[in-house]
Homo-oligomer: A and B are copies of this chain.
Amino acid sequence: MNEGRRPATSTDVARRAGVSQSAVSRAFTPGASIAEETRRKVEEAARALGYRPNAIARSLTTRRSRIIGMAAAYLQNQFYPEVLEAMSRGLRARGYQLLLLMPEHGRHADPLLEEVMAWQVDGLILASTTLSSALAEQCRQAGIPVLLFNRTTSTAHVSSVTGENHRGGQRIADLLVAGGHRRFGFVAGIENSSTSQERERGFTEGLARHGFDLPARAVGSYSFEAASAAARNLLARADRPDAIFCANDHMAIAVAEVARHEFGLRIPEDLALVGFDDTAPAKWRSYALTSFSQPLQPMVDAAVALVCEMIENPAAPTRQAVVPGELVMRASTRLPESGWLDRDGQRIWRGHESG
């Protein structure tokens, strides 16, 4: 064993095993042509020297880094850490490492991503971050697959994985109307985020279908503080909403706190509350938040599969994958008065979904 010295190289192993450096390389390359006997000798020498192939050097010759960059704007919303965790495991299972990129608060992710291109990442996953069309074009030229996660973009033709934002918003409208609510509120995420826009559009369209007005709205910017302020705004109105849909669970919890502890409202008696994502805190019984789910593992699996596919076949057309979710009813909303049906002994709320 060498002490503090530089790590053993394939040449060191070759010398010790009495073979050529190429043989060592082949011994560590699955599927390479090498005799069983030679491989054994190499492996023995490698073990004795504590040798591991240098991934940096390997990347240089193969021109594939087996690194995927993943950008996320913030991790306060529980949804993202869980995505990150699953993504890291999922990518690793396919032999990729995950490089984590957190843009500075309030800054655009572009400079960060550009920096990461120096790392020759094999792919880029953008969660809760948009991609400027300039950078998208740059990636396309560099042949770096880009995948938007929980976002889409209109400015460029990019692949994406999202939940059923539009349908989710509709279902929530259906549920709230069926629960007998009449004055609706919406707390938006970041204004120009496609996710928030689609959820809102589904919601307002759903309401309109039942003959209800556009809801009162306020902007929560996906942050706890801004959502709290939005809640104060909405709840102080003369025509206070009796049902509020928040663009995600994280903001819904902020609204719940303000409603209960600043306005003394009971949920759902005085105010129904719905979120989106169905994250862990939504399940905590102090909130028991009704939420439209974005199933974590399926979404991550789809993302991993898609990005790998894009790497293997760069010429493939872009794809927009939509992972189905479902409305998870909990105690933060009243049960609907109608629209129930029995299936396999379970009581399912079908609602008035026309689709």
Q: How far is the CB of A268 from chain B (nearest CB, A)?
A: 15
> Which B residues touch A56, using CB under 8 A?
56, 59-60, 65, 119-120
Q: How far is the CB of A8 from chain B (nearest CB, A)?
A: 10
By beta carbon, the residue of chain B nearest A76 is B280
A99 within 8 A of B: yes
Other-chain contact of A100, B65, B76, B98, B138 (Cβ < 8 Å)? B98
Other-chain contact of A286, B6, B99, B119, B256 (Cβ < 8 Å)? B256
A142 within 8 A of B: yes
Would you call A85 and B102 a contact (CB within 8 A)? yes
Would you call B281 and A281 a contact (CB within 8 A)? yes
A212 within 8 A of B: no
Other-chain contact of A7, B57, B140, B142 (Cβ < 8 Å)? B142
> Which B residues touch A316, using CB under 8 A?
none
Q: A285 vs B259: C-alpha distance in the bound complex, in angstroms?
A: 11
Give residues 87-106 of A contacting B (CB, 8 Å): 88-89, 92, 97-102, 104
From A18-26, A47-55, A147-155, A191-199, the one touching the partner chain is: A47-55
Q: A89 vs B73: C-alpha distance in the bound complex, in angstroms?
A: 11
Identify 6 residue pairs between A and B in the complex whose beta-carbon atoms are under 8 Å apart, listed by A's number.
A52-B114, A55-B120, A75-B81, A75-B85, A92-B112, A256-B286
